[in-house]
Amino acid sequence: MPLRSKTHRARRLRHSATDAERRLWFRLRTLVLPWKIRRQHPIGPYVVDFACPARKLAIELDGGQHAVQLEKDKARTEELARLGYRVIRFWNHDVLTNTDGVSEAIVRALESAPPLPDPLRPPGRRGRILRSV
């Protein structure tokens, strides 16, 4: 799928968000976090509900239709993992009835994500940063 098409699709999905997506986005926007969280973010061939690229975390909200498409969701999760993302999933019902608990679980997942390597610092060479001249 061309980038323009995925970007257009993501924009369209942001405008037609579910109640659970709107509620969670409102909560995530109000949190003071050192990482940026994006909604309807393109990753590979998919557009995930929420993502934190800096922590390589994808957050998916599942409605009732996901109970019958488990294999499709599993394949999607595996592909996102292959692209370096950890995926956490929540049912829409849980977001709507326990928004605090879901947002706390997301913050814990963000905090527990392994740090991304610094591209300017080679492995095993602490304290020395390579700089281009």
Q: Is residue 52 part of a domain?
A: yes
Q: Is residue 91 part of a domain?
A: yes
Q: Is residue 101 part of a domain?
A: yes
Structural domain harbouring 78: 3-112
Number of domains comprising the chain: 1
Residues of the chain with pLDDT under 70: 1-16, 64-68, 115-133
What does pLDDT average to over the chain? 81
| Model pLDDT for residues 52-81, shown as the tens digit of each residue | 999 999 999 988 665 567 888 899 999 999
Q: Is residue 117 part of a domain?
A: no
Spatial CB neighbours of 62, under 8 Å, sequence gap ≥ 6 = 73, 89, 90, 91, 92
Distance CA 54, CA 74 (A): 23
Residue 27, helix vs strand vs coil: helix
CATH of the domain at 95: 3.40.960.10
Q: Is residue 121 part of a domain?
A: no
Contact 106, 52 (CB under 8 A): no
Q: What is the pLDDT of residue 110?
A: 95
Q: Is residue 50 part of a domain?
A: yes
Global pTM reads: 0.73
